[in-house]
Amino acid sequence: MKVDLSFAIGGAQGSGVETAGKIATLAFAMKGVEVFGSREYHSNIVGAHSYYHIRVGKNALRLPFDAVVAMDAESIFTLATNLRRGGLLICNSETLETKLNDIPSMSRWLKKRIAEKYGVEVKAGDILGDFKVLAFELKDALRRLNISKSKVSISRIVNVIGVSAMLYSLGLDKETIKRAVETRVSGELNLMAVELAIEKAKGLRELECLEGNREGYLMSGNEVVATAKILAGLEFLSYYPITPATDEALFIEENGDAVAIQAEDEISAIGMALGASISGLRACVTTSGPGFSLMNEMISFAVQAEIPIVITLWMRASPSTGMATRTSQQDLFHAIFSGHGDTGKIVIASGDHREAFEDTFRAFELAERFQIPVVHLLDKFLASSITMLEKNIFSREKPAKTFSDSEQRYLITEDGISPFVLLGSQTMVVSSLEHDEYGFATEDPFIREKMMLKRERKLRTIAKSLSGESFVVYGDKDAEVTIVSFGSTKNAILNAIETMENVKFVQLRILSPFPDISKVVSGKVLCIESNLGQLSFLLRTCCKVDAIAKKLNGRPIYENEVKKAIKAVKNGEEEVILSEGI
Amino acid sequence: MKKCWLCRSWIPHYQHEFVGLCIETEEFVFEDEYCNLFELRKLEGEFIWCSSCKREINAEDVEQHKSMGHKLFSAVFMDKDYREEIYEG
């Protein structure tokens, strides 16, 4: 049976939303059904509204929701206003009388928007419209579970009740739900909560016994990249904590054999990693926009001294600290043009979890082969979203590593690539200064010119070497509309164009050296990106751009928004702002 | 009126304030119950928990929150594993 569901579980930050989302994704994965989950959370640590958005049967998000679990009044107002007509709302009956103005913790801007639609005196129960509502009397439910002497986590048990009722209503069986709950949270009371929830949800069940044949590991983007680094033979990681990169670093610390150091800041972090790399270790750093800013000087050093380094850059909503826990693609220019001077580098962008895994290997291979910084561009949306990855991709061998015994570390070569000599094995100097073939500093104009041209030839070699893998084309060859995009917009676009004719998608995989896609575009060119138009600016160096669809609100691009953008460009619009999201 | 939520020994759960922890019995108790240990609560301390705003407030802001009908407590109960629900970074 083909299934396509979109639902959300909401609540205050720190109140069990994370666990409930993971229970739900795990339950669908246990039945072999494709599932994709993503966490939207606030940067205030505890208290503000957050939610887990899950898509079943597809690998990208869409709005409106088909179902919502909202066990507090704020979640009802926030999420149910994005629930489709006839959708399922699971809530706490005692919150239905709560007025919008009686929720001081709620964003005043969201309150204003809701008040404009429903009036200032609106109660949570007033917006239910034609939803199917399953309202628990939560206080009585907890009394029935006899929680008084237990050591149970109240938030978690409330969410287990909500999510179990949801999963049962959406077609999962009791045993699977119990197995998923047991895997994520221990305790007999949680299983009793499942029973209680299912008893109440029995009348609502419309779908029967979802089954699929997907197998694999459920992993977040952070976990995928961390796992790939471990399997690729990472030997040294240094980082300074920053959302959304920290979880990747912590995973490596807990599970890998690499030396992992939390440095005092990002300048030190990349300095340590470059030192490790000079010494022959496979090294990387992981960071986000503000941290990457601090790494700029060292990136320039890595280019000058030709040091391999992988920089994993998880983009988030900028400028400055912006919205630290929200997504964006605003660091495209920053990644490509970072570092002072002629600092050519490689920038790879992954579109989904599988690509993030493969690109991590590729980043190490390219960094070491060309002795250059490789920026692996990802974003917060990929970092905190979960999906199922096939087990067989994890059997990949780690890239081979070879060192030269040449006496000239910076030998002038035809392809611009010098032998990589291990520090200490020959007489050599590694410094930030211009140098001769041994690395000794010089300001001789002849040598300087030779070295500049050598590094330029290296960039040409890289461009030639990567030209066949810089982009991927999906869809009709002579389409009326060509969408061009990069990064985590990939699956929203692919899902959107699946049912549309005359649309193709060019996914850019390598952004530096920037590829020439002029031969593969046709019809109107629509650039989709989560920034003010950085990609479209670069695209105009090789082809025309007829329209830009921009997402600026810090939320991911949804499948339905892509469809809207395609219709708009067909109608002659040149700019579309994609504004959906909660 | 004797209700647990008015008792000095009762601290509300930070998310679901209809239930809380009794620090005398170390049991979860619902807000509308009470027992013979009841003693009327007085707000004490530099920081006060406003369960309506779901955040700590300064002692000097107490009167303002009271005037808006907010429920105020000297402490709040967090689930022991709430940190597992929060992203690092």
pLDDT digits (tens, 9 = 90+) for A24-78: 999 999 999 999 999 998 876 666 789 999 999 999 999 999 999 999 999 999 9
Calpha distance A63→A112 (Å, rounded)? 21
Instruction: Give pLDDT, residue B88.
Output: 52
Of B50, B83, B89, the CB nearest to A246: B89
Task: Kindly state whether residue A572 falls inside one of the protein's structural domains.
Answer: yes
Of B15, B30, B87, the CB nearest to A155: B15
From A148, A177, A204, the end of a domain falls on A204
B70–A104 C-beta distance less than 8 A: yes
Quick check: B14 contacting A, CB < 8 Å?
A: yes
Instruction: Give pLDDT, residue B84.
Output: 66
Instruction: Give pLDDT, residue A213.
Output: 86
Calpha distance B47→B58 (Å, rounded)? 5
Domain-wise residue ranges, chain B: 4-85
Quick check: B55 contacting A, CB < 8 Å?
A: yes
Q: Judge if A48 and A138 occupy the same domain.
A: yes
Task: Kindly list the residues from chain A whose CB atom is less than 8 angstroms away from the CB atom of residue B70.
Answer: 104
Instruction: Please list, in sequence order, all residues whose beta carbon lies within 8 angstroms of the beta carbon of residue A407, skipping any fewer than 6 positions away.
Output: A426, A427, A438
Task: Kindly state whether residue A211 falls inside one of the protein's structural domains.
Answer: no
Q: Judge if A22 and A100 occupy the same domain.
A: yes
B19–A139 C-beta distance less than 8 A: yes
From A395, A411, A442, the end of a domain falls on A395
From A171, A204, A237, the end of a domain falls on A204
DSSP states along A428-492:
----SS-B-TT--B---HHHHHHHHHHHHHHHHHHHHHHGGGSEEEEE-TT-SEEEEEEGGGHHH
Q: Judge if A246 and A364 occupy the same domain.
A: yes
CATH number at residue A287: 3.40.50.970
B16–A47 C-beta distance less than 8 A: no
Q: Judge if A194 and A290 occupy the same domain.
A: no
Parallel, antiparallel or unpaired: strands A510-512 and A346-349:
antiparallel
pLDDT in tens, B59-72: 999 999 999 999 99
Instruction: Give pLDDT, residue A411.
Output: 97
Q: Judge if A353 and A491 occupy the same domain.
A: no
Of A104, A154, A156, the CB nearest to B53: A104
CA distance B49 to chain A (A): 12
Taking Cα atoms as reference points, which of A33, A36, A29 lies closest to residue A60? A36
pLDDT-flagged residues of chain A (< 50): none
CATH number at residue A516: 3.40.50.920
A231 contacts A278 by C-beta, under 8 angstroms:
no
Of A39, A150, A244, the CB nearest to B89: A244
A104–B52 C-beta distance less than 8 A: yes
Instruction: Give pLDDT, residue A569.
Output: 96
Q: Judge if A354 and A429 occupy the same domain.
A: no
B19–A147 C-beta distance less than 8 A: yes
Instruction: Give pLDDT, residue A377.
Output: 98
How many structural domains comprise chain A? 4
* Structure-token pair, residue A545: 């751009």
First and final CA of chain A: distance in angstroms? 30
How many interface pairs between A and B have CB atoms less than 8 angstroms apart?
Answer: 106
Q: Judge if A198 and A229 occupy the same domain.
A: no
Query: What residues make up the domain containing A93?
Result: 5-204
Calpha distance A156→A153 (Å, rounded)? 5
CA distance B72 to chain A (A): 13
Amino acid in position A143? R
Task: Kindly state whether residue A498 falls inside one of the protein's structural domains.
Answer: yes
Q: Judge if A78 and A187 occupy the same domain.
A: yes
A45–B13 C-beta distance less than 8 A: no
Query: What is the pTM assigned to this prediction?
Result: 0.94
Q: Judge if A279 and A410 occupy the same domain.
A: no
Task: Kindly list the residues from chain B whose CB atom is less than 8 angstroms away from the CB atom of residue A102.
Answer: 52
Q: Judge if A123 and A250 occupy the same domain.
A: no
Calpha distance A28→A277 (Å, rounded)? 42
Instruction: Give pLDDT, residue B83.
Output: 66
Task: Kindly list the residues from chain B whose CB atom is less than 8 angstroms away from the CB atom of residue A325.
Answer: 87
* Structure-token pair, residue A186: 């221990």
- Cα distances from A281 to residues A271, A299, A350, B15, in angstroms, run 14, 18, 25, 48
Q: Judge if A263 and A162 occupy the same domain.
A: no
Task: Kindly state whether residue A269 falls inside one of the protein's structural domains.
Answer: yes
Task: Kindly state whether residue A43 falls inside one of the protein's structural domains.
Answer: yes
Task: Kindly state whether residue A259 falls inside one of the protein's structural domains.
Answer: yes
Q: Judge if A276 and A416 occupy the same domain.
A: no
